Chains A and B, each alone.
Chain A
Amino acid sequence: ETGVTQTPRHLVMGMTNKKSLKCEQHLGHNAMYWYKQSAKKPLELMFVYNFKEQTENNSVPSRFSPECPNSSHLFLHLHTLQPEDSALYLCASSQSGGGDTQYFGPGTRLTVL
Protein backbone atom coordinates (compact mmCIF):
# COMPACT_ATOMS: atom_id res chain seq x y z
CA GLU A 1 0.00 0.00 0.00
CA THR A 2 1.23 3.48 -0.78
CA GLY A 3 0.13 6.98 0.13
CA VAL A 4 -2.95 7.36 2.30
CA THR A 5 -5.52 4.58 2.54
CA GLN A 6 -8.98 4.63 4.08
CA THR A 7 -11.39 1.85 5.03
CA PRO A 8 -14.19 1.21 4.49
CA ARG A 9 -14.76 3.02 1.20
CA HIS A 10 -18.52 2.99 1.68
CA LEU A 11 -20.56 2.77 4.89
CA VAL A 12 -24.29 2.78 5.50
CA MET A 13 -25.41 3.03 9.10
CA GLY A 14 -28.49 3.69 11.15
CA MET A 15 -28.69 6.53 13.62
CA THR A 16 -28.25 4.19 16.59
CA ASN A 17 -25.23 2.31 15.22
CA LYS A 18 -21.61 2.68 16.27
CA LYS A 19 -18.95 2.41 13.58
CA SER A 20 -15.37 3.47 12.99
CA LEU A 21 -13.48 4.85 10.01
CA LYS A 22 -9.83 3.98 9.61
CA CYS A 23 -7.03 5.89 7.94
CA GLU A 24 -3.44 4.80 7.43
CA GLN A 25 -0.59 6.76 5.90
CA HIS A 26 2.54 5.15 4.48
CA LEU A 27 4.44 8.39 3.91
CA GLY A 28 6.25 8.79 7.23
CA HIS A 29 4.33 11.97 7.98
CA ASN A 30 3.78 13.44 11.44
CA ALA A 31 0.44 15.21 10.99
CA MET A 32 -2.94 13.69 10.14
CA TYR A 33 -6.33 15.27 9.46
CA TRP A 34 -10.03 14.46 9.16
CA TYR A 35 -12.15 16.50 6.75
CA LYS A 36 -15.85 16.37 5.89
CA GLN A 37 -16.81 16.95 2.25
CA SER A 38 -20.48 17.72 1.56
CA ALA A 39 -22.02 18.63 -1.77
CA LYS A 40 -21.92 22.33 -2.67
CA LYS A 41 -19.83 23.18 0.42
CA PRO A 42 -16.10 23.70 0.96
CA LEU A 43 -14.14 20.97 2.69
CA GLU A 44 -14.55 21.32 6.43
CA LEU A 45 -11.61 20.57 8.68
CA MET A 46 -12.71 18.43 11.63
CA PHE A 47 -9.62 17.33 13.54
CA VAL A 48 -5.85 17.71 13.38
CA TYR A 49 -3.25 15.50 15.02
CA ASN A 50 0.40 16.47 15.14
CA PHE A 51 2.84 13.89 16.53
CA LYS A 52 -0.20 11.97 17.89
CA GLU A 53 -1.46 15.00 19.82
CA GLN A 54 -4.77 16.58 18.89
CA THR A 55 -4.11 20.20 18.00
CA GLU A 56 -7.42 21.17 16.43
CA ASN A 57 -11.05 20.34 17.08
CA ASN A 58 -13.05 22.51 14.74
CA SER A 59 -16.22 22.62 16.87
CA VAL A 60 -17.14 19.09 15.86
CA PRO A 61 -20.12 17.46 17.65
CA SER A 62 -19.20 14.87 20.26
CA ARG A 63 -20.86 12.11 18.23
CA PHE A 64 -17.60 12.17 16.24
CA SER A 65 -14.64 10.93 18.30
CA PRO A 66 -11.13 10.79 16.83
CA GLU A 67 -8.30 8.53 17.92
CA CYS A 68 -4.65 8.62 16.87
CA PRO A 69 -2.72 5.69 18.40
CA ASN A 70 0.46 6.47 16.41
CA SER A 71 1.64 8.77 13.64
CA SER A 72 0.57 6.33 10.92
CA HIS A 73 -2.99 5.58 11.99
CA LEU A 74 -6.05 7.72 12.54
CA PHE A 75 -9.57 6.63 13.44
CA LEU A 76 -12.90 8.39 13.51
CA HIS A 77 -15.41 6.73 15.83
CA LEU A 78 -19.03 7.41 15.00
CA HIS A 79 -22.08 7.03 17.22
CA THR A 80 -25.65 8.30 17.24
CA LEU A 81 -25.19 10.09 13.93
CA GLN A 82 -27.79 12.21 12.17
CA PRO A 83 -28.82 12.05 8.49
CA GLU A 84 -27.10 15.41 7.90
CA ASP A 85 -23.80 13.71 8.78
CA SER A 86 -23.98 11.84 5.48
CA ALA A 87 -20.96 12.98 3.48
CA LEU A 88 -17.55 11.96 2.14
CA TYR A 89 -15.03 11.81 4.98
CA LEU A 90 -11.48 12.44 3.87
CA CYS A 91 -8.29 11.69 5.73
CA ALA A 92 -5.07 13.52 4.91
CA SER A 93 -1.48 13.61 6.14
CA SER A 94 1.44 16.00 5.86
CA GLN A 95 5.06 16.06 6.92
CA SER A 96 4.32 18.59 9.65
CA GLY A 97 1.36 20.64 10.79
CA GLY A 98 2.68 23.65 8.90
CA GLY A 99 2.11 24.68 5.30
CA ASP A 100 3.38 21.41 3.90
CA THR A 101 1.37 19.73 1.18
CA GLN A 102 -1.42 17.54 2.50
CA TYR A 103 -1.89 14.16 0.85
CA PHE A 104 -5.43 12.84 0.79
CA GLY A 105 -6.93 9.38 0.99
CA PRO A 106 -9.78 8.25 -1.28
CA GLY A 107 -12.39 8.92 1.39
CA THR A 108 -15.22 7.00 3.04
CA ARG A 109 -18.69 7.67 1.62
CA LEU A 110 -20.96 7.65 4.68
CA THR A 111 -24.73 7.39 4.48
CA VAL A 112 -26.77 7.73 7.67
CA LEU A 113 -30.30 6.40 7.43
Chain B
Amino acid sequence: AQTVTQSQPEMSVQEAETVTLSCTYDTSESNYYLFWYKQPPSRQMILVIRQEAYKQQNATENRFSVNFQKAAKSFSLKISDSQLGDTAMYFCASWGSGGSNYKLTFGKGTLLTVNP
Protein backbone atom coordinates (compact mmCIF):
# COMPACT_ATOMS: atom_id res chain seq x y z
CA ALA B 1 0.00 0.00 0.00
CA GLN B 2 1.04 3.57 -0.63
CA THR B 3 1.44 6.19 2.06
CA VAL B 4 2.03 9.92 1.77
CA THR B 5 3.24 11.96 4.73
CA GLN B 6 3.18 15.72 5.10
CA SER B 7 4.89 16.53 8.37
CA GLN B 8 3.97 20.23 8.51
CA PRO B 9 0.27 20.75 9.34
CA GLU B 10 0.64 24.53 9.11
CA MET B 11 3.19 26.99 7.78
CA SER B 12 3.34 30.73 7.25
CA VAL B 13 5.51 32.94 5.06
CA GLN B 14 5.83 36.64 4.36
CA GLU B 15 4.76 37.93 0.99
CA ALA B 16 7.59 37.83 -1.60
CA GLU B 17 9.60 35.28 0.38
CA THR B 18 10.29 31.64 -0.46
CA VAL B 19 8.79 28.66 1.36
CA THR B 20 9.28 24.90 1.05
CA LEU B 21 6.61 22.34 1.89
CA SER B 22 7.74 18.81 2.74
CA CYS B 23 6.35 15.52 1.52
CA THR B 24 7.59 11.95 1.82
CA TYR B 25 5.97 8.91 0.31
CA ASP B 26 6.30 5.18 0.34
CA THR B 27 5.63 2.95 -2.63
CA SER B 28 6.84 -0.37 -3.98
CA GLU B 29 6.11 0.68 -7.56
CA SER B 30 8.92 1.37 -10.03
CA ASN B 31 6.75 3.68 -12.09
CA TYR B 32 4.51 6.19 -10.38
CA TYR B 33 3.46 9.82 -10.47
CA LEU B 34 3.61 12.52 -7.82
CA PHE B 35 1.42 15.58 -7.52
CA TRP B 36 0.98 18.76 -5.55
CA TYR B 37 -2.55 20.11 -5.38
CA LYS B 38 -3.70 23.43 -3.96
CA GLN B 39 -7.09 24.02 -2.30
CA PRO B 40 -7.74 27.72 -1.52
CA PRO B 41 -10.27 28.49 1.23
CA SER B 42 -13.76 27.50 0.06
CA ARG B 43 -12.52 27.03 -3.48
CA GLN B 44 -11.79 24.23 -5.90
CA MET B 45 -8.75 21.95 -5.65
CA ILE B 46 -6.39 22.60 -8.54
CA LEU B 47 -3.18 21.00 -9.75
CA VAL B 48 0.02 22.84 -8.93
CA ILE B 49 2.61 20.48 -10.34
CA ARG B 50 2.99 16.90 -11.60
CA GLN B 51 6.15 14.78 -11.60
CA GLU B 52 6.70 11.51 -13.44
CA ALA B 53 8.92 9.29 -11.28
CA TYR B 54 10.99 7.99 -14.19
CA LYS B 55 12.04 11.55 -15.06
CA GLN B 56 15.02 12.75 -13.05
CA GLN B 57 14.53 16.39 -13.92
CA ASN B 58 12.55 18.31 -11.32
CA ALA B 59 9.24 19.69 -12.58
CA THR B 60 8.68 23.44 -12.49
CA GLU B 61 5.64 25.62 -13.11
CA ASN B 62 6.35 29.35 -12.94
CA ARG B 63 7.02 30.17 -9.24
CA PHE B 64 6.46 26.56 -8.18
CA SER B 65 9.16 23.91 -8.34
CA VAL B 66 9.79 20.55 -6.74
CA ASN B 67 12.82 18.84 -5.29
CA PHE B 68 12.30 15.19 -6.21
CA GLN B 69 14.68 12.85 -4.38
CA LYS B 70 13.69 9.39 -5.60
CA ALA B 71 16.04 7.37 -3.40
CA ALA B 72 14.90 9.22 -0.31
CA LYS B 73 11.25 9.12 -1.45
CA SER B 74 10.98 12.83 -0.90
CA PHE B 75 8.97 15.31 -2.98
CA SER B 76 9.07 18.84 -1.58
CA LEU B 77 7.39 21.89 -3.11
CA LYS B 78 9.15 25.25 -3.27
CA ILE B 79 7.11 28.42 -3.76
CA SER B 80 9.16 31.44 -4.74
CA ASP B 81 8.07 35.08 -4.45
CA SER B 82 5.02 34.07 -2.36
CA GLN B 83 1.81 35.92 -3.08
CA LEU B 84 -1.30 36.44 -0.96
CA GLY B 85 -3.21 34.27 -3.41
CA ASP B 86 -0.95 31.34 -2.54
CA THR B 87 -2.73 31.05 0.82
CA ALA B 88 -4.30 27.59 0.65
CA MET B 89 -4.20 24.00 1.79
CA TYR B 90 -1.53 22.12 -0.16
CA PHE B 91 -1.84 18.38 -0.68
CA CYS B 92 0.89 16.03 -1.81
CA ALA B 93 -0.32 12.92 -3.64
CA SER B 94 1.12 9.78 -5.16
CA TRP B 95 -0.42 7.69 -7.90
CA GLY B 96 0.43 4.04 -7.91
CA SER B 97 -0.75 0.70 -6.65
CA GLY B 98 -2.87 0.94 -3.52
CA GLY B 99 -3.16 -2.78 -3.15
CA SER B 100 -5.28 -4.41 -5.81
CA ASN B 101 -5.81 -1.33 -7.92
CA TYR B 102 -3.98 1.83 -8.86
CA LYS B 103 -5.18 5.00 -7.20
CA LEU B 104 -4.23 8.49 -6.04
CA THR B 105 -3.22 8.58 -2.37
CA PHE B 106 -3.17 11.94 -0.59
CA GLY B 107 -1.33 13.29 2.43
CA LYS B 108 -3.18 15.15 5.18
CA GLY B 109 -2.18 18.52 3.79
CA THR B 110 -0.25 21.62 4.84
CA LEU B 111 -2.11 24.85 5.48
CA LEU B 112 0.02 27.67 4.10
CA THR B 113 -0.71 31.26 5.06
CA VAL B 114 0.99 34.10 3.19
CA ASN B 115 1.15 37.23 5.32
CA PRO B 116 1.30 40.76 3.89
B is bound to A: yes
Q: A96-113 interface mask toward B, CB cutoff 8 Å, 1 = contact, 0 = none?
A: 011101111111000000
Within 8 A of B (CB), among A58-92: 58, 90
Which residue of chain B has its CB nearest to the CB of A90? B45
B91 → chain A closest CB, angstroms: 7
A-B pair count, CB < 8 Å, reads 45
CB-CB < 8 A to A58: which residues of B? 103
Is A97 within 8 A of B108, CB to CB?
no
> Is B101 part of the contact surface with A, judged by Cβ < 8 Å?
yes
A104-B102 contact in complex given A42-B107, A43-B91, A99-B33, C-beta closer than 8 Å: no
Interface residue count on the A side (C-beta < 8 Å) = 21
Which residue of chain A has its CB nearest to the CB of B108? A42
Which residue of chain A has its CB nearest to the CB of B47? A101
Is A106 within 8 A of B43, CB to CB?
yes
> Is B64 part of the contact surface with A, judged by Cβ < 8 Å?
no
Q: B83-109 interface mask toward A, CB cutoff 8 Å, 1 = contact, 0 = none?
A: 000000001000110100111111111
Q: B68-80 interface mask toward A, CB cutoff 8 Å, 1 = contact, 0 = none?
A: 0000000000000
| Chain A interface mostly | loop
CB-CB < 8 A to B95: which residues of A? 98-99
A82 → chain B closest CB, angstroms: 23
Chain A to chain B: the 10 pairs with minimum beta-carbon distance, closest first: A99-B33, A104-B45, A99-B95, A43-B106, A42-B106, A106-B44, A42-B108, A56-B101, A101-B47, A45-B103
B residues at A contact (CB < 8 Å): 4, 32-33, 35, 37, 43-47, 50, 52, 91, 95-96, 98, 101-109
Add 15 more A-B contacts to A99-B95, A99-B102, A104-B46 (CB < 8 A): A42-B106, A43-B91, A43-B106, A45-B98, A45-B104, A48-B101, A55-B101, A56-B101, A58-B103, A97-B102, A99-B52, A101-B35, A104-B44, A106-B44, A107-B44
